[in-house]
Amino acid sequence: MLDTNLFAMEIVDNATLEAENIIGIAKKESEAVLSALERDLKVASEKSCLATEKKVDTVLSQSKALAKIEVPKIILEAKNKAVDNVYEIALKELLAKPDKEYFTLLEKWIQEHANDGDKVIFAKNDIKKVPKGFVEAIATKKKIKLAISDKTHESSGGIILEGKIYDQNLTFEAVLSLVRTKTEKQVAEALFEY
């Protein structure tokens, strides 16, 4: 029996050695696999970082390019708005004139532009403020026939001379539009010192 125990112990020892050998090989293989995985992960991580950096660089580059385009547009829009404001202020100042100055201006325009037989169309807002005998006095000075039209116009102020052949639009908006075409460059230069 002794031999059987010895034989069994030898088998157990051999099995233990074989198990230790297998465990050692498995550890080495798992270390190699883990090492390979770590290398692969490091490479993948570096590639991901590079790709992210490239994307960030691309986005930054595109943003800078867009800014180079958009900033001048925004500045131009702001400058245009400032020029618009000048003419809006001019309109407000015309409308805010005291009645005497206001109708003196209209009288000047009628004297300069009216033709015999014209009808003067006043703004809806002005028709009730027209001084009595205003148009008749101008007609007498010019030695022409003028009359106040039964119609009114919807512009904020100024007049329209309704003629037999053609009408003359001397509303504030029309006059300021004409003035703007002639003065816009100078206004912009004065505002922005080009």
User: CA-to-CA distance for 162 and 72, rounded, in angstroms?
Assistant: 45
Q: Are 124 and 152 in contact (CB under 8 A)?
A: yes
Specify the pLDDT at position 54. 86
pTM as predicted: 0.64
Please give the average per-residue pLDDT across 89-109, as a whole number: 94
pLDDT confidence of residue 7: 63
* pLDDT reported for residue 139: 95
Give the per-residue pLDDT at 93.
92
Q: 166, 114, 167: which is closest to 140 by C-alpha?
A: 114
Residue 1 scores a pLDDT above 50: no
pLDDT over threshold 90, residue 3: no
Across 39-53, 109-123, 169-183, least confident range: 39-53
Pick the more confident residue, 178 or 34: 178
How far, in Å, CA of 70 to CA of 131, rounded?
Answer: 53
pLDDT digits (tens, 9 = 90+) for 21-47: 777 777 787 787 778 778 877 887 888
pLDDT band, residue 15 (cuts 50/70/90): low
Tokens 């003629």 appear where? 163
Q: Dump pLDDT digits (tens) for 79-89.
A: 889 888 888 99
**What one-character-per-residue DSSP string does the chain give?**
-HHHHHHHHHHHHHHHHHHHHHHHHHHHHHHHHHHHHHHHHHHHHHHHHHHHHHHHHHHHHHHHHHHHHHHHHHHHHHHHHHHHHHHHHHHHHHHHS-HHHHHHHHHHHHHHH--TTEEEEEETTTGGGSPTTHHHHHHHHHTS-EEEEEEEE-SSSEEEEE-SS-EEEEEHHHHHHHHHHHHHHHHHHHHH--
Nearest-angstrom CA–CA distance, 165 and 184: 32
- pLDDT for 29: 78
Beta bridge partners of 115: none
pLDDT tens, residue by residue, 135-168: 999 999 999 999 999 999 999 999 999 999 999 9
- Residue 9 has what pLDDT? 66
The predicted model gives 171-176 an average pLDDT of 95
